[in-house]
A and B are shown apart, each in its own frame.
Chain A
Amino acid sequence: MNLELTWRLLKGGGRRGLLGTWLTLGAVAVATALLLFAVTANFAFQSRGERDAWRNPVPAGSAATAVQAARFDYVRDRRLVVVDVAALPGRAPAPPPGLDRFPAPGQTWLSPALAALARELPADQFAARFPAVAGQLGEEALAYPGELVAVVGHRPDAPVMTAERSDDWVVGRPPTRVADFTGRVSEDAQAYQVLALIASVLMVVPLLVFGGAAARLTVARRDQRLATLRLVGATPGQVVGMTVAEAVIVAFAGAVAGTVAYAAAVPLLTRIEIGGGPWYAGDLWPHPLLLAGTLVAVPLLVGLSAVAGLRRVVVSPLGVARRQTPPGMRVLRVLTLLAVLAAFPLVGLEPSATVIAVAIALALLSLNLAGPWVVGLIGRITAAFARGPALLLAGRRLVDDPRSAWRTVSGVALTGFVAGFLGMLSPGAFSSGASDAVFRLAVPEGRPAVVAERARERMRDAGLAARVEQAKKLVTVTVTGIAAPATGDPARGDTARGDTARGDTAAGEGAAGDGDAVDAAVVDRTRTALAGLVPGWTPTSEADDQRFGFQLLADVRVGTVVVLAVSFLVAIASAGITAASSVLDRRQTYGLLRLAGTPLTVLDRARRAETLIPLTVMGGGTIAAGVFCATPFMLGAPNLSGAVMLGVCVALGFAGVLGAGALTRPLLVAVTTDPSPRPD
């Protein structure tokens, strides 16, 4: 019977009642869509990590069937992964993922994007590095669509499979005897998963707060009616049951709508480039269990929040039917926040992903706990010093219902914490202007002279102007452009430096000076000319060496922008919905004040001040808290880009909340032009 009555009340709520229901439904839909994104992102990074794990070999003893090594090469300023494999004598290893058979010596499999590049570019810029292409790699071999990967088959005793290589994972993987190509998740993939987890925590906590706020708004609109039900004899259980039923029905519809919205957004989300490239749509589809869990958990959470919001009605129906001075909030709320903030420097002593994630979650939750108390304090100060009616109204309202005011600004305030935290964590600017025309090649001891001579020959044969220098275990090739047409003996006279060998080729027209940038075609011709000169080693420029750092910087920025975009969406949606609900809740008072001649501007100014004052104080406070919490993890001094990002966040946050509030002005006009002074 309760359910039937709830359904009748829900349907018969009138135009405004339905508007409120739609607002709640919209809020839950936004929260669900963003929640799915925040959670699925973790699984997406996990899938990506598992898919490229095969390139990270696990050493095997007597069970070994093959030898595997990996290195990075570059084409058109993009990194490509070259995996060298060789079957051990008498063994028949299963092919690596994405290959239909094990590559025979000399055979190469290219990823589709790399194959396309090989077709597009002249052979001397790329294709000549991999002459015998036997097939294309399947999706299961790639971390992301468009990834550049080559798998090259060798004999197990080929120099490339036996020569010493660096064991620095940033450079590649040395030859390893493996039992199969299962591999294990790489260190960088694990690092990305940790960052994704932290980002999820930063996104999920405000989302949960938002979801809870939406539920309480349902109650706020219904409390008068439910109080009446209590006054006519409904038991607390009946009131709770009806409220939960109503909240859950609306929340379930919202969760379904949010799921549909998320599904519609997946094609767009796959375009977010992070970790080197975009995403497969399958990575971003939530697992059916996760989906089912979300569709159950979101309505449940909303129902629980509704119960919490109803406590006042159930305990004392007159508490709602007749407004009284609200009880003061305990200072314990602020003490909790201060305790968490005080503990943050200790987290920095022994930072681990879990500890950081838990600490951030605690900081966000304690900020949310302290928020209403601080808003109440701000309200008391505002009311005490107000001279005009707008500020007086704003201050008194903040004191009257600090939780409601906090709900309006909490999204931006918590985003301020995220912005403050991430702004300070942005890596400092990497040095720019690194040369991509000077290639260095690690050379085994005693071989530099031979390698240098071969490098000169290859550069000459490729028609490239270059100066080749050698050191104890290093050969440096400085390419300066296209070689001038040969006139007799191509070799020039010796240079004065003792460590510079003879035979450098002179540059022709348009040549660059030493170390200056040369065009991409010349760079790729140089890479192709020098490919395989030292088995297992790729000639790299200073720009190549910095590529990893730039990638990390770019990924942190993309991640930050994504987290902030989600947080702002939540914040602005929250502000808009709360502002609209606030107008609906006070429509009778607003209407009567207008009838009595109160200018609309005063009401609007009061409404604006009611948001702007706590927003300024709390936004500033949470940004400062975010900066403070990030300090133990800062990579060097704060950088300009972080400060700029913070500034943009503050501006966007204010503009968004004020804009969302301004959008509800027509609603204010509508409720105040209603000539009937009686409540509906």
Chain B
Amino acid sequence: MNDVLAGRALAKRFGRTVALGGVDLAVAAAEAVAIMGPSGSGKSTLLHCLAGIMKPDAGEVHLLGQRIDDLGERKRSALRRTRFGFVFQFGQLLPELPAEENVALPLMLGGVARQDAVRTARQWFGPLGLGGMEGRRPGELSGGQAQRVAIARALVTKPAMVFADEPTGALDQTTGHETMRLLVEVTKHNGASLLVVTHDPDVAAWCDRTVEVRDGRLLTGGVAA
């Protein structure tokens, strides 16, 4: 077993609604997994439980063999900051900061000096096709460019896992495909695993494996073959 992240028998309720009804899901090292399902199926709840954003009512989550779902909020928060990276649909960039400082922010939050953090952040712009855009603010970037900045920010701390929630939801098809290609490639190139929540089969097709969630249960592919 070389699972980076594993959720076992995860269950979560919101009032009478069962969001997760005992889900098992494991992600191997440098593996890209897509979670698909219709709206309200529980796919985002599953991502939130696995990422330590939300505590499951039952079940366990392990990161590199260490249980993380029973950690306190402070430790889970630190874990998200240092071991995980996040890419959301939109709005995750701080509009006040130029692109390079958006990317440098997680490093600074981890205690890296500002100059070093910005220097490290700049190294990500070239490979992601963002050369020359370091000083631009998010409002001055296209949707695809902004998502590439978000990818750089998710990976700048060298995380073990990257979580992406509908990363191409706000992009046109061509830009969406290009963004997914970059996300998968760069994540794997950095040795990280990727978990993508999407309802788009074309997006899921970029991943190594797709699991389908419906009514809080996994229909297929919970464990790597």
Instruction: List the interface of chain A (C-beta within 8 A of B).
Output: 322-325, 386-389, 392-393, 396-397, 399-401, 588-589, 592-599, 602, 675-679
B156 shortest CB reach to chain A, Å: 12
A400 touches B80 (CB 8 A): no
- Interface 0/1 of B91-106, CB less than 8 Å to A: 1101111000100011
Given contacts A387-B113, A401-B96, A599-B81, 14 further A-B contacts (CB under 8 A): A323-B139, A386-B114, A389-B108, A392-B114, A393-B96, A393-B97, A396-B96, A396-B97, A400-B95, A400-B96, A592-B86, A596-B80, A599-B74, A675-B54
Q: A386-B114, A392-B101 are in contact. Are A597 and B78 (CB under 8 A)?
A: yes
Q: A595 to B73, alpha carbons, bound, how many Å?
A: 11
B84 touches A399 (CB 8 A): no
Q: Which of B77, B96, B114, B139 contacts A599 (CB 8 A)?
A: B77
B108 touches A392 (CB 8 A): yes
B106 touches A388 (CB 8 A): no
B81 touches A598 (CB 8 A): yes
Q: Is B89 on the interface with A (CB-CB < 8 A)?
A: yes
A396 touches B86 (CB 8 A): no
Kindly list chain A residues whose C-beta atoms are within 8 Å of the C-beta of B54.
Answer: 675
A313 shortest CB reach to chain B, Å: 15
B53 shortest CB reach to chain A, Å: 5
Q: Is B125 on the interface with A (CB-CB < 8 A)?
A: no
Kindly list chain B residues whose C-beta atoms are within 8 Å of the C-beta of A393.
Answer: 94, 96-97
Kindly list chain B residues whose C-beta atoms are within 8 Å of the C-beta of A589.
Answer: 91-92, 94-95
Q: Which of A323, A389, A676 contacts B137 (CB 8 A)?
A: A323
B101 touches A323 (CB 8 A): no
B91 touches A679 (CB 8 A): yes
A537 shortest CB reach to chain B, Å: 75
B86 touches A596 (CB 8 A): yes
Q: A389 to B140, alpha carbons, bound, how many Å?
A: 22
B134 shortest CB reach to chain A, Å: 14
B80 touches A602 (CB 8 A): no
Kindly list chain B residues whose C-beta atoms are within 8 Å of the C-beta of A324.
Answer: 137, 139-140
Q: Is B109 on the interface with A (CB-CB < 8 A)?
A: yes
Q: Which of A387, A401, A592, A602 contacts B91 (CB 8 A)?
A: A592
Whose C-beta in chain A lies nearest to the C-beta of B92? A592
**In the complex, how many residues of chain B place their beta carbon closer than 8 angstroms to a beta carbon of chain A?**
34
B48 touches A675 (CB 8 A): yes
B80 touches A677 (CB 8 A): no
A28 shortest CB reach to chain B, Å: 29
Kindly list chain A residues whose C-beta atoms are within 8 Å of the C-beta of B94.
Answer: 393, 396, 589, 593
Q: Is B60 on the interface with A (CB-CB < 8 A)?
A: no
B118 shortest CB reach to chain A, Å: 10
* Tally of A-B Cβ pairs under 8 angstroms: 86
A597 touches B77 (CB 8 A): yes
B184 shortest CB reach to chain A, Å: 20
Q: Which of A325, A396, A597 contacts B140 (CB 8 A)?
A: A325
Q: A397 to B92, alpha carbons, bound, how many Å?
A: 16
- Interface 0/1 of B37-50, CB less than 8 Å to A: 00000001000100
A597 touches B88 (CB 8 A): no
The 9 closest A-B pairs by CB, nearest first: A597-B81, A597-B80, A323-B139, A323-B95, A400-B96, A396-B96, A324-B139, A389-B108, A322-B139
Main SS class of interface, A? loop
Whose C-beta in chain A lies nearest to the C-beta of B153? A596
Q: Is B138 on the interface with A (CB-CB < 8 A)?
A: yes
B165 touches A602 (CB 8 A): no
Q: Is B120 on the interface with A (CB-CB < 8 A)?
A: no
Q: A588 to B91, alpha carbons, bound, how many Å?
A: 7
Q: A592 to B44, alpha carbons, bound, how many Å?
A: 14
Q: Is B145 on the interface with A (CB-CB < 8 A)?
A: no
Q: A325-B137, A396-B97 are in contact. Are A595 and B91 (CB under 8 A)?
A: no
Whose C-beta in chain B lies nearest to the C-beta of A589? B94
A596 touches B81 (CB 8 A): yes
Q: Is B175 on the interface with A (CB-CB < 8 A)?
A: no
A592 touches B88 (CB 8 A): yes
Q: A254 to B94, alpha carbons, bound, how many Å?
A: 34
B106 shortest CB reach to chain A, Å: 7
Kindly list chain B residues whose C-beta atoms are within 8 Å of the C-beta of A389.
Answer: 105, 108-109
* Residues 51-89 of B at the A interface (beta carbon under 8 Å): 51, 53-54, 74, 77-82, 84, 86, 88-89
Q: Which of B44, B84, B113, B139 contacts A597 (CB 8 A)?
A: B84
B55 shortest CB reach to chain A, Å: 10
A595 touches B95 (CB 8 A): no
Kindly list chain B residues whose C-beta atoms are within 8 Å of the C-beta of A679.
Answer: 91
Kindly list chain B residues whose C-beta atoms are within 8 Å of the C-beta of A592.
Answer: 86, 88, 91-92
Q: A337 to B105, alpha carbons, bound, how many Å?
A: 38
Q: A678 to B114, alpha carbons, bound, how many Å?
A: 30
Whose C-beta in chain A lies nearest to the C-beta of B109? A389
10 interchain pairs, CB-CB under 8 A: A323-B95, A323-B139, A388-B108, A396-B96, A396-B97, A399-B96, A592-B86, A595-B53, A597-B106, A676-B44
Whose C-beta in chain B lies nearest to the C-beta of A397? B96
Q: A335 to B84, alpha carbons, bound, how many Å?
A: 50
Q: A676 to B48, alpha carbons, bound, how many Å?
A: 9
Q: A392 to B98, alpha carbons, bound, how many Å?
A: 11
Kindly list chain A residues whose C-beta atoms are within 8 Å of the C-beta of B108.
Answer: 388-389, 392
B96 touches A596 (CB 8 A): no
B148 shortest CB reach to chain A, Å: 17
Whose C-beta in chain B lies nearest to the C-beta of A396? B96
Whose C-beta in chain B lies nearest to the C-beta of A320? B139
Whose C-beta in chain A lies nearest to the C-beta of B157? A597
Kindly list chain A residues whose C-beta atoms are within 8 Å of the C-beta of B78.
Answer: 597, 599
- Interface 0/1 of B9-51, CB less than 8 Å to A: 0000000000000000000000000000000000010001001
Whose C-beta in chain B lies nearest to the C-beta of A324? B139
Kindly list chain B residues whose C-beta atoms are within 8 Å of the C-beta of A396.
Answer: 94, 96-97, 101
Kindly list chain B residues whose C-beta atoms are within 8 Å of the C-beta of A677.
Answer: 88-89, 91-92, 165
- Interface 0/1 of B147-159, CB less than 8 Å to A: 0000000000000
Whose C-beta in chain A lies nearest to the C-beta of B141? A322
Whose C-beta in chain A lies nearest to the C-beta of B146? A322
Q: A396-B96, A396-B97, A400-B96 are in contact. Are A596 and B106 (CB under 8 A)?
A: yes
Q: A209 to B101, alpha carbons, bound, how many Å?
A: 34
Kindly list chain B residues whose C-beta atoms are within 8 Å of the C-beta of A678.
Answer: 89
A600 shortest CB reach to chain B, Å: 8
Q: A393 to B94, alpha carbons, bound, how many Å?
A: 9
Kindly list chain A residues whose C-beta atoms are within 8 Å of the C-beta of B44.
Answer: 676
A394 shortest CB reach to chain B, Å: 10
A398 shortest CB reach to chain B, Å: 9
Q: A392 to B104, alpha carbons, bound, how many Å?
A: 11
Kindly list chain A residues whose C-beta atoms are within 8 Å of the C-beta of B114.
Answer: 386-388, 392
B48 shortest CB reach to chain A, Å: 6
B168 shortest CB reach to chain A, Å: 15
Q: A637 to B74, alpha carbons, bound, how many Å?
A: 56
Q: A387 to B82, alpha carbons, bound, how many Å?
A: 19
Q: A608 to B89, alpha carbons, bound, how many Å?
A: 29
Q: A325-B137, A597-B82 are in contact. Are A675 and B53 (CB under 8 A)?
A: yes
Whose C-beta in chain B lies nearest to the C-beta of A594? B77
Kindly list chain A residues whose C-beta atoms are within 8 Å of the C-beta of B96.
Answer: 393, 396-397, 399-401
B170 shortest CB reach to chain A, Å: 11
